[in-house]
Amino acid sequence: MQRRHKGLHSGLLLLFSQIAHVGINNIPPVTLATLAVNIFLFLQPLDSLNEACVSVNKVLYKGDWHPLYLSVVHHIDDWHLYFNMVSLLWKGMKLEKRLGSLWFGYIITLFSLLVGVVYILLELIVAELLHDPLYKQSCAVGFSGVLFALKVLNNYYHPGGSSNILGVNVSNKFACWVELVAIHFLNPGTSFAGHLAGILVGLMYTMGPLKMIMKACAGGFISPTRFSEHRNGYNPENFSYSGYQFYPQRDYNLFTGGLSEEEQLRRAVINSLNDRGGRTRHYLNEWRS
């Protein structure tokens, strides 16, 4: 499958509008660099989507390791890119300021690789359990697996509160799991395994040994800020709940024009399908956050 280059990239223009509204000077350096890389590779991809997407067959059976780092920074269309990058913009600004730029860059780099690895393992396990080789051929691209991991970190460092998902209030402690199912229900073409891989990587960091391993490998040259070692308390007077995450209402509007994440997802899916003429893509799953 080839990305469509003709026509107006309305999602890309809206993304530039959101970035301009926030102000480049207000975006931390690693978050800004990650945005720039994803946008640049959407406009000038290193490879076709067929070659960049990650799958069990490619990595394990054909020995092609390039998709492990290519897939995460390639997107199917401008709305796929828009939704993921707006989500990154918000989460990156919160977490990078909390963790420090060096440590946040370390997290982005490592998570980008780990999500692909865990995705391959999940698809391989399911394929073996169900005796269905199609799972080994399932191919995924996009940044939203990493975004799911960042959601877990964001909820860890800012505990408490609840989110409204499809009209149901859900504790943020479980919001990622409910959102995982909700997104797959709203758009079955998304990669369930890719999003699940992101959640598992996030849990490996917050509840498992990954953070300790990262510190050991960094050898003291890179470390999270001391402030980040402590989790915030929850003050219900300071936050308004919109979409899947909790955020200060005024700040969130800067990124999304007042739309909740759920509404953004619905619009992104509809616009993306309309842009493709409603044609279904059977063999390439989209990692949408």
Per-residue pLDDT tens, the chain, 289 aa: give them: 444 444 568 889 999 999 999 999 999 999 999 999 999 999 999 988 889 999 999 999 998 899 999 999 999 989 899 999 999 998 999 999 999 999 999 999 999 999 999 999 999 999 999 988 888 988 899 998 999 999 999 988 877 676 667 677 777 777 788 888 877 777 766 778 889 999 999 999 999 899 999 999 988 777 777 655 555 543 333 322 222 232 333 343 444 444 444 455 445 444 444 444 443 333 344 444 4
Active-site option among 195, 242, 260, 289: 195
| Whether 138 is catalytic | no
How far, in Å, CA of 35 to CA of 41, rounded? Answer: 10
β-bridge partners, 168: 165
| Whether 144 is catalytic | yes
| Helices 249-256 and 10-22, packing angle to 10 deg | 140
Active-site option among 55, 112, 144, 242: 144
